[in-house]
């Protein structure tokens, strides 16, 4: 929990946390899904921070309703989401925007691995 809080804090301050790289969201990435009534969440022009244990998607949440809405982080989750937060606003007036940060756990064992040839040439 402290790691996630620290990563989100650095991102909110406009920094790239140590051990993370900042990129555009990769084509074909499983972008987080938020089913939040009255709020449009958009990652199409978002950012992507890749770390050792977490990947953080950064997008924009926009209140498209005609009344104030408190953003409910729990509406942006699935089994691999570690945490969700917004910055700088959690309550959005009509037409207001805020950044949304969604930290997803790194998938282990799914990436193709490179083979290292043995220095022994197959003999042991």
pLDDT tens-digit series, residues 20-73: 999 999 988 889 999 999 999 999 999 999 998 899 999 999 999 999 999 999
pTM to 2 decimals?
Answer: 0.83
Residue 115, SS3 per DSSP: coil
Distance (Å, rounded) from C-alpha 24 to C-alpha 91? 27
């Amino acid at each position: 929990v402290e790691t996630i809080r620290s990563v989100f804090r650095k991102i909110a301050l406009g920094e790239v946390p140590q051990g993370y790289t900042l990129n555009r969201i990769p084509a074909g990435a499983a972008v987080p899904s938020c089913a939040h009534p009255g709020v449009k969440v958009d990652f199409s022009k978002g950012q992507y921070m890749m770390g050792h244990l977490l990947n953080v998607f950064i997008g924009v949440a926009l209140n498209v309703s005609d009344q104030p809405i408190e953003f409910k982080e729990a509406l942006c989750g699935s089994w691999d989401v570690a945490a969700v937060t917004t910055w700088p606003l959690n309550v959005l007036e009509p037409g207001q925007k805020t950044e949304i940060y969604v930290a997803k756990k790194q998938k282990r064992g799914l990436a193709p691995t490179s083979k290292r040839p043995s220095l022994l040439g197959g003999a042991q």
